[in-house]
Amino acid sequence: MPTLVPGGDASGDPQASECLCTSPALLLPPDAEKTPGYWNEGARRRLKSALTLQPVAQRAKNIILFVGDGMGLSTMSAARIYKGQLAGGSGEENILAMETFPHLALAKTYTIDRQVPDSAGTGTAYLCGVKANAKTLGLSGAAVYGKCRTTFGNEVDSILHRARLEGKSVGIVTTTRVQHASPGAAYAHSASRSWYADANMPKEALRDGCKDIAYQLVHNTDINVILGGGRMYMTPKRTADPEYPEDPAQNGTRKDGLDLIAKWLSAKQGARYVWDKKGMDAVEDDSVSHLMGLFEPKDMKYELNRNTSTDPSIVEMTEKAIRILRRNPKGFFLFVEDEIDHGHHSGRAKQALMEAVMLDRAVARASELTSPSDTLTVVTADHSHVFTFGGNTLRGTSIFGLAPKKAKDKQAYTSILYGNGPGYSIRNGGRPAPSLRTAEDKDYRQQAAVPLEVETHSGEDVVVLAKGPMAHLFHGVQEQHYIAHAMAYATCLEPYAAEPGCRAARRASRGTLCSPQPLLALLALCVAAHVVGG
């Protein structure tokens, strides 16, 4: 186990010691790490495991796609350390659940019109299989942002939609509003990612026949499980929110008078709507075929701010979705998103990294509830952020801690920094020095080099991790839209439904629909008919 020692620097640098003496105790690695045998044996075990690795070439019955919105490689690395430190370790040697997946690739995230993308264009890529323009949902690159008329004829269907057409159950879990860009790409066709409700649309778009994203959520695809935020876009204007009835800012916003929740419930047998954790927990797995849970008027709260008695976590929502969806013998497709992105945009690294940790916990729970023999699980990000950590920090330093030496301006600085964003600050002609106490606060904004109201995305590649049937298709450096094609191929969805092996996979799926009892009953009827006819 790592060893606790007081703060200090073995180099004897007085400046480093001055900074570190205010730090909490560091967690040093075990002495075993100082011997070559420790590293040689670890590498030998990994090599042995790699030599036994074989592709699972059969088709997948189920697919789960986890998307860490804004989870670039630097975020993954920092989240790994943070999760390890939360468990009492030094953190660096920790392994995320997603990092145990045997196959991985890199995905290029640019959109047709942007070098640095947004979540709508990327969502269209990894869900619909085509690169698109930024800020558009479920449309090809021929569509123009904000121009309703360019929607028609340029729609592209998501893998979620295609899975439902094939008879699979489908679901969406998100910590954002369910009408947000990433989940919206699973079912909507919109020239603007911001058209959440009709109240958010320009009059011209309404006249030209475009529908808002909330309307499309209810009408476009028969989605079995919908869990996230976004209540206000579903109900008529001035409809009081059930959780915040005294706050008019949380009221419904729809101008067309539609109650989309009521419409969704009336159109489906076995449907249930809930708006809090208690309601979700009360839903028995075998009592509903469709579940809609909207737990906040807009986006759900950060995990570090979540009311654990009223709002479910992403882990709890993921488990509920899987338990409902897996009852379908034809299989299921589940999309799960955690909004790491909003923490980064606000410059609050602790909020962002806790979201990444929670996504990893959801990945771990999903692995417990499914089997890699029939479930392809993919974890990726839509884009990265201008987030980094450095400063030559010592092993075991808090991921939110200070660099061991001061900067050229004689001020301390945190290991985590942003390239731009709201953390930029100049006071009395200089950069304010952070303290360890303030830097550890969940709402502390790490310093940024360039002043912006909102921190921006970055354009580097993102990782794709996969396990289960056809996971080996994820390899090398790929365009982001390849993700949707690999998933479609893995589970025999269009345009790969006629590929070799798909007929046998469908026959096996249909075979599970039949139990011996109905077959014996049919045989008995046939014998009886033969006797009577004789």
* Orientation of helix 482-490 relative to helix 119-128, angle to 10°: 30
Q: Please check whether residue 291 is in contact with residue 318, taking contact to mean a CB–CB distance below 8 angstroms.
A: no
The residue assigned the tokens 């047998």 is: 269
Residue 71's φ and ψ, nearest 5 degrees, are -90, 75
Is 383 annotated in some ligand binding site? yes
CA-nearest of 186, 189, 193 to 225 is: 186
How far apart (Å, rounded) are the C-alpha atoms in residues 203 and 351? 37
SS (H, E, C) 368-417: HHCCCCCEEEEEEECCEECEEECCCCCCCCCCCCECCCCCCCCCCCECEE
CA terminus-to-terminus distance, the chain: 81
Mapped onto helix, strand or coil, the DSSP state of residue 448 is strand
The DSSP secondary-structure symbol of 188 reads -
495: preceding bond cis by omega (within 30 degrees) = yes
How far apart (Å, rounded) are the C-alpha atoms in residues 335 and 340? 16
Is 219 annotated in some ligand binding site? no
For 102, the token pair is 């045997």
Is 69 annotated in some ligand binding site? yes
Answer yes or no: 266 catalytic: no
Residue 262's φ and ψ, nearest 5 degrees, are -65, -40
- Tell how strand 169-177 and strand 225-229 pair up: parallel
Q: Which residues are CB-neighbours of 115 under 8 A, at least 6 positions away?
A: 459
How far apart (Å, rounded) are the C-alpha atoms in residues 165 and 171? 13
Q: Please check whether residue 227 is in contact with residue 321, taking contact to mean a CB–CB distance below 8 angstroms.
A: yes
Helices (H), 12-148: 14-20, 36-51, 73-86, 119-128
Q: Which one of the listed residues 119, 192, 313, 346 is annotated catalytic?
A: 119
Q: Which residues are CB-neighbours of 356 under 8 A, at least 6 positions away?
A: 68, 71, 75, 76, 78, 79, 82, 338, 340
Q: Please check whether residue 229 is in contact with residue 299, taking contact to mean a CB–CB distance below 8 angstroms.
A: yes
Tell me the residue length of the chain. Answer: 534
How far apart (Å, rounded) are the C-alpha atoms in residues 366 and 290? 19
Is 345 annotated in some ligand binding site? yes
Q: Please check whether residue 387 is in contact with residue 381, taking contact to mean a CB–CB distance below 8 angstroms.
A: no
Is 311 annotated in some ligand binding site? no
For 515, the token pair is 């139990």
Q: Please check whether residue 231 is in contact with residue 275, taking contact to mean a CB–CB distance below 8 angstroms.
A: yes
Sheet arrangement for strand 387-389: 387-389, 416-421, 448-451
- Residues that constitute the known binding site for Zn(2+): 69, 341, 345, 382-383, 457
- Residues that constitute the known binding site for Mg(2+): 69, 180, 182, 337
- Residues that constitute the known binding site: 69, 180, 182, 337, 341, 345, 382-383, 457
Positions marked active-site: 119
